[in-house]
Structure 1
Amino acid sequence: MDNRNKKRTRSGSVMVMTAAFGIVLLAVTALVTDIGYLYLEQARLQTAIDAGWKAGFDRMMQIKSGGKHILNETEKGLIRQHVRDVIKSNGYSDEDVAVVDIDFPSNNQLLVKSNKKVGLFFAQVIDIKSSDVGASRSDVGDLGTIIPLGIPHGPTKDVSPTKYRCELFDSDEEFTVGKEYIIKLGEKPMDPFGGGLAPWGVVPIVATDTIEFGFASNTIYILKQSDGKETITPGNFGCLDIDGDHAGGANDYLDRIKYGNKFGIASYNEPLSIGDMIYSETGNMVGATVEGVQYRFDNNLLDMRIPVVRNFVNGQSDKIEIIGFLNFRLTQAPVEDKKDKTATVYAMYLGADYAVDNTVGMPKLSFGRIDPDNISTNASQYLDFFKYGYSAAVEYGQMILPENGNASAPTAAAVSYRLQDNPETPKNVIVPITDIPGNVKTNNPAYATATTIYDLVATDNPNGVIGLASYTYRSSVRVTGFAEFELLDEGDYVRDGTNYDTGDKGDLGPVMPGQVRGKFIRYIVKPGTVN
């Protein structure tokens, strides 16, 4: 074969390859064109759906602003028509908007979604004439189920009527899915027989003072006298028979020092109150006094509630009248002097408040209620926000006001309503996770060591302002995340004991009025994941 034939052969091969490559390039170009067109149509549909959703959500909030909590079918129909009108104004036909799905999954939630068939151009060569694109909008609906409670990011334990404990999570820790947590603290009246009451009585220093009876705060007094000149009256040393059975002697007296009336069976109406008649106890009972008071020191049970009585009858164990109660704190353990038979009990006067709580923990200054709109609410509005959800969005990073008080009755009513799990008021709720920013601690040195919402007494009044730059916050918390919980009925609690442990282990404490618990479902926004 000569060179001319070889050249013609190579030239023909190049032409074939060029033609084949051109066909492939044309096919790719056609495919890209069709895909680009699909993306364009999907974006156009999403824009229309977003506009329709926003218009519908605004119309829904407008209806609810008049105090309407649950929409009826007529109102839902008006909202649906408004959504379709807005979508149509974005260039869609009556036929297009007729197939738009508009639903209300739960109270304050609006779902708008649609699929549209889009005709293709070049894909028809391979017999693909059209493809579907879809769009939906419901994201802010998640925030529609927010209830007016705020929690710290860590397990809270409701350990006593007046105190709580909380260990905040480290950066690598989080709530456990399916686990029970406290999402609102509760409270109950102090149990006067839980170790707070002690079997001694004091008589007034100033008879005309019916509140503190002449006792001065932070001053040390003798609660139980000793022998000789320190007796109140001959044979009486300041001891009382607080369990009311008028029997048992020194052993019974010892138990009452150690445990109050916790294990006693009182013959009078419990709890002890002003006006009750109670027996005095004669005798010094030195050994029992020393042992009982030492037990209180060993077990950190130093605070006590002491009855105030009118007098002690000379050398007799007669009934005497209780005219008040005062709080004292033991200041030193008595040492038994067998020679002089002395065992004096000294204590510092704390005040006339009725109850004493010796539990280790932080005082509950608030209970976890919040004011979502940062405008002071009343109990009725709190109940509505809890039952039906807060109607507007709560923003990540915003400041939010705690609400003072337990509000146990409206809390119980709202939880009961939610547990019915109606479609528009489900038992799954969104709870803001909160912390105390440095600005609050700087603005209010009283809260320099505060760590949770429960450490704050609400005094701020920003009148709707939510940003740190626009108001000087002194007693508010910051939203650092959102968590979804399933509200639990009290009968479903599994961590309601007092076997406490460190971290997210052990029980959460006893059940108390106003307390709310939920099972953790998921994070909507986890603290530390948003800059």
Structure 2
Amino acid sequence: MKRLAQMIARILREQSGVSMILVALGMFMLIGFTAFVVDVGNLYFEKSRLQKALDAAVLAGAQRLKVSESEAENVAINIANQNGFTVTTDEVDTGANFIEIKKTVNKQLTFARVLGFSDSDVGAYARAETLETLIKGEGIIPVAMEDVVYNPGDSYTMHFQAGNPNNASVNGNFGFLAINGPGGSDLKEGIMHGANREINEEFEYTKTGLSWGNVKSAFEYRIGQDNTKPHCSSYTTADQTCSRVVTVPIVETFQGANGKSMVKIVGFASFWIESVNPNGNNKSVIGRFIPTVGSGEFSEGENYGIFTVKLVN
């Protein structure tokens, strides 16, 4: 800037009259244009950086809304800080299904200082919301549960023996669906890897018979897949990246089923597998229903614990 000013001064000394005025005006316009291009570009870059940081912060925070609003707020603030911006609690607002951040930062200008402008404010706003009804997803296992109240975190046992009311023998049915096919090996494959399913007006056929050996080995396989993932060993930290977190279909009822029957899927839930009781009369799988961030198609409706988050303008 000093060299540019010296050049202008030299030109002005060597010129006179109209020429001097025109040269001075031209140089002034050049400085103004340079200031505009450089500083506006810097402001745009800063706003983009701030927007990306806030977007990342609210998306991360929204995933913790099911834990608590304060947890969501803390996570969002930490993510913003990691991306180079200090966010305070006064700049964050939360609700049962949303989190938003509004922040303004001050940016120092460069060339515009010659024109008397030293700084400018840059602002950004980001909001993320939860969408709570999974209507179509991947990895759905063929072990269904009836549509009753399941409290997140409570221990629940899938019983697979005759005479027990939960997943019990209802005229030959044990809660299995013929999603992958009618055979025992199909059931095993379905529990291990799941299938694509959606909520619609169609019904699913049940799969009759216990086939406990296939059921047992499939659930044990999923637990074993997480041996190198410490966060998967507890339901409080497990998520959809864990193999032992399965997506189970929720059906209206198994009552009235008699042999191979048809049932209607009304929702999907996440179930963390704690253990498998393999022997004797206590053939069962113990686990807990947990809220998780899932992938697939979501809509409004009854929530069974799987949700997604999205940015909202």
Q: Which TM-score tier does this pair reach, normalised by the shorter chain?
A: 0.3 to 0.5
TM-score if structure 2 supplies the norm length? 0.39
* Greater fraction strand: 2
Whichever of the two has the greater Rg, that structure is 1
Q: Which gives a bigger RCO, structure 1 or 2 (Cα 8 Å, sep 6+)?
A: 2
